[in-house]
Structure formats: structure tokens, C-alpha cells
Amino acid sequence: MRRTESGLSSLSQQRPVSMEAYWMPFSANRQYKAAPRLLVRAEGMYYHDVDDRPILDAAAGLWCCNAGHARPRIVQAIQQQAATLDFAPPFQMGSPLPFVLAQRLAALAPAPLNHVFFSNSGSEAVDTAMKIVLAYHRLRGQGQRTRFIGREKAYHGVGFGGLSIGGLPNNRKDAGPLLAGSDFLRHTLDLSRNAFSRGLPRHGAELAEDLERLIALHDASTIAAVFVEPIAGSGGVILPAPGYLQRLREICDQHGIVLVFDEVITGFGRVGNAFAAQRFGVTPDLMTLAKGLTNGAVPMGATLVSDAVHAAFMQGPPGAIELFHGYTYSGHPLACAAALATLDTYAEEHLFERAIELGDYWQSALHSLRGLPHVIDIRNFGLIGAVELAPRKDAPGARGYEVFERCFRDGSLLVRCTGDVIALSPPLIIDKAQIDRIVEILGDMINATG
């Protein structure tokens, strides 16, 4: 392959000759290919596009790159691992790093979450959690607990399990009947009472009582688990009122229901602790992780499991396989190497604390956008933010997309739009001047949008 002067492969730095063959995920393929936005390299807080414009990253890629881009320690770890042990079969066979990484994650997580099952994505981490929960109940003679409770507007990936407990209609509607028996809590977004809250919204803790209603409807003995994102991301950055998650925990405990936190986006410092579970003081029985686990550099998911749930699997004869589940790439050496270097980087640079240190500044900066045209809500917590725009009549999502597109094209700023919500989740290495810049550009682009 030809190399450029910098040693980069030329194919990775140029417009592709044809864009026909690649079917892009979650994208308007024809619209995109008519006016592509191509990123070719990244460093620190910035991407560079194919025209070599620096693009300020206000999205950490896609909630992934919490330590910023191209961090040398992570790059070196991946390179060295690729040259040393590229792959090892993970079934009835092992290599050291998954063991090392699992210990590190157990030490980082709330006390009882001491067991780690590796996968390759958030979707797989969620489906793994669902299978572990079902098997757990079966092992305890409660195999009738097969029903999952999710939440409206929730996103738990695109596996058939995650779709079954997800609450975004567009994702579900073509996927058939999905898992039988799932039911849903209401979401906690309430603009009539909570618009422009700073930090957690005041109202809405009582929505946790929905779980009591579903238990009354279905009977607790049929319910396997409740899955929630502590802060819902893809559904539009939806925050819980104080007490809401605590109450879910209490109700689950009363009724023998497993509580699972999907921390794929809230994990790894986004809210000021390693995990939202710690920030909110609520410990789930299982936790699903991905994205920031490897700083986005190599795909990886993980399902953390409590001692109590794990112990149920370790009762049979020692020669028995405890869980018939796994992926060819579970605990892949490159992913483990990337994750370990990522955790070192987070610790050494105290990045988890950044979301607290910068939280007030971030909050004030974002809320300065209040009063701009179409802005109907601003939400923030840790280093997460959202600016919600009023939808255009008959074209929901179009205004959000226009702001996103203008930010990239005219503002050299990467944000994420999910419907008419502009979601912000910058790398945790961000400084105050960069926060100001994000808000300035976003404000200009909202003003320019009709």
C-alpha cells in the first residue's frame, strides 16, 4: 500500500473512489454520499477531515473517546500487542490480559460487581446480560422469571435482546415480534415541569412507581430484570430525578428482580465517577459497558456481574461449562491491551474527576444558549449536555440534523443529533476555552438555522 510522507496509508487519507458498496449504519446513505463528511485523522480534542480542517470534537466520537484521540500510551499498547499476540482462542483456552483487565474493572466498579464477561460491543454486552439473568433465575429454580422491563426511549443496542427492551420505535418496528413479554417504564423526560433544569431535574422521582404498577400487572414472579440507562443517551439525554434510581433498586430488592444498569455511555468518567452507579449511589446487580472501555480504539463490550449472581453459576461440577455463551473475540488481546492502557490514562490524568471539576463551568456555558430561537430545553450532568430544539412541523428531526450539519460544515464542530436534540459529550480532556468555543459555534449555528 502506498504511504504518504507521514507514513499514513494514502487510501485512509483520500476521498474513496466509490462509495456505492458500503452500507452505512444508522445513516441516510443517499443523503450522506451526496455530501460526505469524511474524517481522516484525530489527535487530542480534534478530528481532521479529508480537507485537513480541524474539527473540534464535542461528541467524543460517539461517546467513546473519553481520553481524547490518538493517546500515545493506547496507540503503543495496541501496536505492541498486535506484534506479540494477535489473537488467542478464548474457549477452554486463554491469554493473560483478559484476566488482568477483568481484575482492574472489578476494582473500579462498585463492590459486589466482581466478575466480567467480555464481548465486542454494547449490544453484545446487553444481550449477554439478558442471557445471564435468565440462566441465573433458572439455576435458582425460578425459570418462570422470563419477562424483562425496559423503558420508553431507552437504547440498549441492536441485538434482538437489546431491541426487545429498547424504547425507540424506529429501531424496533422492522424487527418483528421481539422477545415475548417485555414491558416498559415511562421515560423521565418532562419538559412541562423540568425544562432548563441545571443538573438533575427536580421532578419525576415518582415515575419509579411505574415498576410497582408493572409488578401488579404481571406478577413479580414472572419478571427477570429491569434494565435502565442511568442517564438515557440515544433517546435524547434524559436525566433521572434524585431518588428515582434508588427507588427502582428498592422495588427490585423487594420482589427478587435483578437490576441492570446499562452504562455504555455513562461509564468511564462521563459523570464524574468511574460509573454513574457510584455517582448516584445505587448499585445494580449487573452492569453493561463498552465505548469508553477502550477509549473507542478497539471494539469491546463487557458485562459486569455481582458476586451473588455469579455464585449461582459456580455450584455445578468443576468440569461443567457454567454458561454456554461467548464470542470468538471475547477478551481479544488487542481490545484488552487498549482497555488497560486506557484505564491507565484515565487514572494518571485524573480524568474521571474532570467531569466534576468542569461541571459548573460546562453547565453555565450550556445554559447561556437559553433564549436562542427554537431552544426548548437545555440539560446537563457531568460532562454530558443536550440542547433540545422545537421540531419543525411535519419534519421531526430535521432541525436537529440541520444544526448538526451546519456545525460540521460551517463551524468545524462535531456534535451528535438524535432527533431534534443536540447531544454533547466532549472528551474529558477538554479545557474551558474549548467549552466556550463549542457553545459559541453551537449558538451561531442554531441562530443560522431556520
Chain contacts with ligand PMP (rule: CB under 6 A): 121-123, 126, 155-157, 229, 233-234, 262, 264-265, 290
| C-beta of 251 vs 260, nearer to ligand PMP | 260
With a CB cutoff of 8 Å and minimum separation 6, the contacts of 73 are 341, 344, 345
Assign 41 to helix, strand or coil: strand
- Smallest distance, ligand PMP to C-beta of residue 15, A: 26
Cell triple for 393: 412541523
- Smallest distance, ligand PMP to C-beta of residue 405, A: 20
CA distance 423 to 396: 16
- Smallest distance, ligand PMP to C-beta of residue 120, A: 8
Decide if 218 contacts 257 (C-beta within 8 A).
Answer: no
- Smallest distance, ligand PMP to C-beta of residue 90, A: 19
Among candidates 133, 136, 132, 118, which has minimal Cα distance to 326? 118
- Smallest distance, ligand PMP to C-beta of residue 93, A: 25
Label the pairing between strands 46-49 and 384-389.
unpaired
| C-beta of 292 vs 411, nearer to ligand PMP | 292
| C-beta of 98 vs 296, nearer to ligand PMP | 296
Decide if 94 contacts 88 (C-beta within 8 A).
Answer: yes
| C-beta of 238 vs 265, nearer to ligand PMP | 265
- Smallest distance, ligand PMP to C-beta of residue 5, A: 35
Residues recorded for the chain: 450
How many other β-carbons are positioned within 10 Å of the β-carbon of residue 70? Answer: 15
- Smallest distance, ligand PMP to C-beta of residue 4, A: 31
Whole-number Cα distances in Å, 419 to 170, 233, 262, 390: 11, 12, 21, 10
| C-beta of 264 vs 417, nearer to ligand PMP | 264
| C-beta of 141 vs 169, nearer to ligand PMP | 169
- Smallest distance, ligand PMP to C-beta of residue 329, A: 13
357, amino acid identity:
E
- Smallest distance, ligand PMP to C-beta of residue 258, A: 17
Among candidates 145, 417, 112, 379, which has minimal Cα distance to 258? 145
| C-beta of 229 vs 388, nearer to ligand PMP | 229
| C-beta of 132 vs 439, nearer to ligand PMP | 132
Assign 375 to helix, strand or coil: strand
225, amino acid identity:
A
52, amino acid identity:
D
Residue found under cell 444544526: 403
Q: What is the number of the residue whose Cβ is closest to ligand PMP?
A: 122
Q: In the chain, count H helices and then E strands.
A: 17, 15
How many other β-carbons are positioned within 10 Å of the β-carbon of residue 250? Answer: 15
| C-beta of 298 vs 445, nearer to ligand PMP | 298
| C-beta of 48 vs 332, nearer to ligand PMP | 332
List beta partners, residue 293. Answer: none
How many other β-carbons are positioned within 10 Å of the β-carbon of residue 283? Answer: 18
- Smallest distance, ligand PMP to C-beta of residue 265, A: 4
Half-sphere exposure at residue 63, Cβ-oriented, CA atoms within 13 angstroms: 23
Whole-number Cα distances in Å, 223 to 113, 230, 335: 22, 20, 34
